[in-house]
Structure 1
């Protein structure tokens, strides 16, 4: 894909922007929401504009209770709103810091998983280390490092990912949820600026949907040696790290040949619905 750069600066998700979207979709005025949540209309206005710090848990709960009375929030919307309120996890370590935690024994363990696909990745889907089967299945990803950078900027991704656009859409939705759950959106600014050079990323980002996982564990790849379809059963496990607990995961992909070599894939296979719930 060719980057498109002539666009305004992308903005990370904020509590105020999401609150306004939830309020607008329910046809609720600031005054009405404020009255029922026990706060002032000017306070709601300041929250939506980002002029105030993070609201307290009590205020968020009151806002959610009233919005739920009008139209219940989905599980994803509720989590996304709480994350953006600053109730998420701490900031992320750098890729270099995480790679320093991958020991020689851990690298040898990747080879023991052959011929299954195995890699250590962080929660932002940066590849920290991988085995040969993983590198072969996702050509160039170990060099591009990040899955979204590979999806959008490496032509090989289109060739091997048989549900390329659906996987891109799911991963962009996942990125929105990840930024919120970090509790600190500042780290995402440079990454969004890089990805914002791609028109497809901007289009999907503008959907405003968050995701927190895959609706299906199966990923379909074209084997770049035989050209046949392979169904990869994807599993993720947290890896203990005393320095960075919960930040390192091991990706394990168990491949089988697709039953039908000419498989026709459902384009909605990985598509979340419009409110961010997973099918």
Structure 2
């Protein structure tokens, strides 16, 4: 889908979501054949000609000035994130960007150290396509304890948070208000798609989710934008039960987000996270003992003469 079509779809969808009454426009009791505002009404509010706005919405023009885009954003009642998304959609495509092969995403050493330092705080790093690039032990246990903790280190096997939220039963059950979490995921993907219009892998992901999840397809068609920032969620963890958490997101490297989970001091959720942390520590200790035993057995079998090695009876 090219930039003109994406821009036109966004404008048309957001225009249909506005009602004349929302903007104080008189309707004189007339029957309206289209949902929301007419093109002529929006053009009047934005201070542009109806013919120009029509060409813009129909994909016949992709060279609107920043001033015109801001005027249209004001008429559509867009917030700051939505206004920036509109500008991204209206940018002329860069031929060099389309030809550039995507570089595999990876976390920096500093980010990896930060994850390790936050041992008592669930934390994950998410790439621009929602791939999990890294997580600490508690982050893995909270979000995806049913998955291999080492999968984030293998680019071909990395979990994808969008796929998990829409296609994984464990992740869907994890959120008491799943539609709220799902809309946040879709809104952020919409924002990223506007920033990286030539990312073929991102468009492949959207196509896959649209085909496999009617919920995703419906939310994607709504063209809502929701940047990741701070959000409260009621989670239902299979090991420690319900807990209310705050997910805070910071931008790291270009296109990467660092997500940390906090709870209120003295709350049941704080106790639940502490319980989960103890379970993770105990599991890690048990795995270390098992690994040492396996290593010792392998060494003994390789060198029967080594002290402590078994001898055939």
TM-score range, shorter chain: 0.5 to 0.7
Who is 2:193 aligned against?
A: 179
1:57 alignment partner in structure 2: 66
2:43 maps to 1:33: yes
1:201-223 Cα shifts (integer Å, max 9, x gaps): 11222223221235x53233223
Q: Can you give the 5+ residue segments of structure 2 that lack an aligned partner in the other structure?
A: 21-36, 273-313
Contact in 2 for aligned 1:119/1:131 (Cα 8 Å):
yes
**Deviation of residue 179 (structure 1)?**
1.7
| 2:178 alignment partner, one of 138, 145, 164 | 164
Q: State the Cα distance separating 1:247 from its structure 2 match.
A: 2.6
Q: 1:258 aligns with which of 259, 269, 273?
A: 269
Q: Is the 8 A contact 1:126 1:147 kept in 2?
A: yes
1:16 aligns with 2:25: no
C-alpha contact 2:85 2:191 (8 A) present in aligned 1: yes
User: In structure 1, the residue corresponding to 2:84 is in which secondary structure?
Assistant: helix
| Alpha-carbon spacing, 1:80–1:115, altered in 2? closer, same or farther (3 Å) | same
- Find out whether 1:200 has 2:215 as its counterpart: yes
Secondary structure, aligned partner of 2:239: coil
2:136 equivalent in structure 1: 131
5 Å-filtered alignment, 1:98-113, equals 98-99=105-106, 101-103=107-109, 106-113=111-118
Paired residue secondary structure (1:251): strand
**TM-score w.r.t. structure 2 length?**
0.61
- Distance in 2 of aligned mates of 1:249 and 1:61: 27
Which is worse superposed, 129-138 or 161-170? 161-170
Q: Aligned-residue CA RMSD in angstroms?
A: 3.9
Conserved 8 A contact 1:95-1:128? no
Matched, 1:97 2:110: no
- TM (norm. structure 1) is 0.68
Deviations 1:3-36 (A, max 9, x none): xxxxxx9x99722222234455453444982897
**Structure 1 portions without partners, runs of 5+:** 1-8, 240-244, 262-279
CA displacement 1:207-266 (0-9 Å, x = unmatched): 23221235x53233223323x212223222333xxxxx43333222224633999xxxxx
* Alpha-carbon contact 2:249-2:259 (below 8 Å) kept: yes
Higher relative contact order (CA 8 A, sep 6+): 1
Between Structure 1 and Structure 2, whose CA radius of gyration is higher?
2
CA deviation after TM superposition for structure 1 residue 62, in Å? 4.7
Secondary structure (helix, strand or coil) at the match of 2:61 reads coil
Query: Could you report, residue by residue, the CA deviation over 1:137-192 in whole angstroms, capped at 9, with x for unpaired residues?
Result: 11239455221101112111123223223211221122222222335576542121
Does structure 1 residue 221 correspond to structure 2 residue 235? yes
